Chains A and B, each alone.
Chain A
């Protein structure tokens, strides 16, 4: 119900809470049509309407509830890891396979240049169409995806290159093969090994930060998050069906779990929120990518001068202090 998407005639995906925009879009299309027919000059009206749309959009997006943020984070047209890679890096060459079992298309990795600097990049890859999503397993990696990630991280370490990871997954894939091949072991091992990497590591949560599957490539010295991305121990739907005994109470679960960028910053689980273009990253992938690029470069800079030992200590201390409890 709440995640029902309406598609209007101009191929725009409009989320339920974006409905006020629908009417304005239709009006805009009408004006453009009249204008293009050359009967009347509608330039001024179009400009004003576009400005109005911008304002309404901004207004809607400053007031998103957690469950609405989830919908934006999962938006079909939200830029994917490969979109960001193509906008942010130069000379990207994809590296495939875990050298054990197979190549996991749900997790991409490669070598690239960031502002002229050699880096290793990786991240979960979702599709934008059903067909793409099936090919990418909806961004849910199997153990071989996590093992590939570790393999390229080790390349980064061996040749002293920083690592940048992009997190966007509903979670690690829950399947028979995944269990057979040790999904738990693959993630656990990544966690232990990531803690000990001797190179700078920046993780960016760009869409859905789904539980262990997200954390499995997420132990950066700095963890950044896009304004409308989420990061959560379980999906709101999963939490609702287990704790609230009703999958339809995802809204309550989303509120309770504190999964938005602002909440995560308050909890010190992320270090910085990266602004998104007005109306979310899907409105302007290039702009979103440029915001990410600046933030990554800024956060990478101070890490470049740290020694191996300092980088490990920096990461260890960051995660060691996470947790809230009472000691009597």
Chain B
């Protein structure tokens, strides 16, 4: 198969199933941009923070990649890494939830869809949570909810700002109502943070949808969005089915949310660290 045919097939698969844009396929030297179709040398893409050098398309990052790009050298110390999801409803669709968790842990080398811990950004201490879309679409179940709550409690304990990077398709249906309750739990925790006079910065990356946006992702003192990210409550397909009309171009993308007053800024990835640093210092200093 030619590399172009391969890309074509991959693009089709993406459109069909909304699969994750992974770049770490062994031997895959060239990557085609999902937006402008430019062929990019994989290592160039890497040095460009996984942003297309031609059109500025922001590829998705794993939690590990995000942390590496963002925090001061080795300053991130993961906590509560040993919390795992469990199939307490014996949920079975095409596969049991138990098997799904197991397979995803093996494939992603993550325990669940979020990593949390203290970190330093531009020399300022903060409590940092980073979601990872590659773990079951970044869906929020009991583990993600618990870790977000603990991260916020860490911020309260350390008297430092909390930063959460969302990358999530919404609540994890395999945990039924318990996933919905994570919206209540995380939002309540953010209320506490606020009561303690501590700042919260929410960074919405592609995608931030459903219950995730209807809880912790929209509650920042400052909400930041990466360019072009899908950020919404109801997904475009659901809306199209409900209202039976085509949606306007750019609907529910970061720039649209900025225009409608839902985020403070759309920040390019290459400026993100500096922007966060400036904001953190503003909160920290007189």
Q: Could you list which residues of chain A lie within 8 angstroms of chain B, going by C-beta atoms?
A: 172-176, 178-185, 187-189, 191-193, 195-196, 211-212, 215-216, 218-219, 231-234, 238-239, 242-245, 252, 256-259, 264, 267, 269, 315-316, 319-320, 322-328
Contacts of A258 in B (CB 8 A): 89, 176-177
How far does the alpha carbon of A328 sit from the alpha carbon of B233 in the complex, in Å? 34
Q: Among the listed stretches B22-30, B45-53, B57-65, B238-246, which one makes contact with chain A, having 4 or more residues with CB under 8 Å of it?
A: B238-246
Query: Across the interface, do A195 and B188 meet the contact criterion of CB distance under 8 Å?
Result: yes
Partner among A172, A244, A319 whose Cβ is within 8 Å of the Cβ of B94: A244
B82 within 8 A of A: yes
How far does the alpha carbon of A184 sit from the alpha carbon of B176 in the complex, in Å? 20
| Chain A-chain B contacts (Cβ-Cβ < 8 Å), number | 195
How far does the alpha carbon of A233 sit from the alpha carbon of B176 in the complex, in Å? 6
Query: Across the interface, do A243 and B85 meet the contact criterion of CB distance under 8 Å?
Result: no
B215 within 8 A of A: yes
How many interface residues does chain B have, given as a range? 35 or more
B3 within 8 A of A: no
Contacts of A243 in B (CB 8 A): 93-94, 173-174
Q: Could you list which residues of chain B lie within 8 angstroms of chain A, going by C-beta atoms?
A: 80, 82-86, 88-89, 91-94, 141-143, 145-146, 149, 171, 173-185, 187-192, 194-195, 210-211, 213-219, 231-234, 238-239, 242-243, 247-248, 251-252, 260-262
How far does the alpha carbon of A180 sit from the alpha carbon of B181 in the complex, in Å? 25
15 A–B contacts from the bound complex (CB under 8 Å): A174-B233, A179-B252, A180-B260, A181-B260, A188-B183, A189-B219, A192-B187, A195-B184, A219-B188, A233-B180, A252-B93, A257-B89, A267-B176, A326-B86, A328-B83
Partner among A180, A195, A212 whose Cβ is within 8 Å of the Cβ of B214: A212
How far does the alpha carbon of A184 sit from the alpha carbon of B85 in the complex, in Å? 26
How far does the alpha carbon of A218 sit from the alpha carbon of B180 in the complex, in Å? 11
Q: Which of A174, A195, A231, A244: most chain B Cβ within 10 A?
A: A174
Query: Across the interface, do A326 and B83 meet the contact criterion of CB distance under 8 Å?
Result: yes
- Nearest residue (CB) in B for A214 is B180
Query: Across the interface, do A322 and B184 meet the contact criterion of CB distance under 8 Å?
Result: yes
Query: Across the interface, do B180 and A215 meet the contact criterion of CB distance under 8 Å?
Result: yes
Partner among A191, A244, A315 whose Cβ is within 8 Å of the Cβ of B183: A191
Contacts of B80 in A (CB 8 A): 327
How far does the alpha carbon of A245 sit from the alpha carbon of B251 in the complex, in Å? 26
Partner among B143, B187, B239, B247 whose Cβ is within 8 Å of the Cβ of A195: B187
Contacts of B238 in A (CB 8 A): 174, 238
- Nearest residue (CB) in B for A182 is B262
- Nearest residue (CB) in B for A219 is B184
Partner among A191, A239, A244 whose Cβ is within 8 Å of the Cβ of B188: A191
Query: Across the interface, do A326 and B214 meet the contact criterion of CB distance under 8 Å?
Result: no
How far does the alpha carbon of A324 sit from the alpha carbon of B176 in the complex, in Å? 11
Query: What's the least CB distance linking B281 to chain A, in Å?
Result: 26
Contacts of B179 in A (CB 8 A): 233
Contacts of B175 in A (CB 8 A): 233, 324
Query: Across the interface, do A323 and B217 meet the contact criterion of CB distance under 8 Å?
Result: no
Partner among B83, B91, B174, B232 whose Cβ is within 8 Å of the Cβ of A325: B83
How far does the alpha carbon of A252 sit from the alpha carbon of B89 in the complex, in Å? 13
Given A175-B239, A176-B239, A184-B213: A327 and B83 within 8 A (CB)?
yes
Q: Which of A178, A192, A259, A327: most chain B Cβ within 10 A?
A: A192
Query: Across the interface, do A323 and B173 meet the contact criterion of CB distance under 8 Å?
Result: no
Query: What's the least CB distance linking A263 to chain B, in Å?
Result: 8
Interface contacts beyond A173-B242, A175-B242: sample of 15 additional A-B pairs, CB < 8 Å, sorted by A = A174-B239, A175-B234, A179-B233, A179-B239, A184-B262, A187-B183, A232-B176, A233-B177, A233-B211, A243-B93, A243-B94, A244-B94, A259-B176, A269-B178, A325-B85
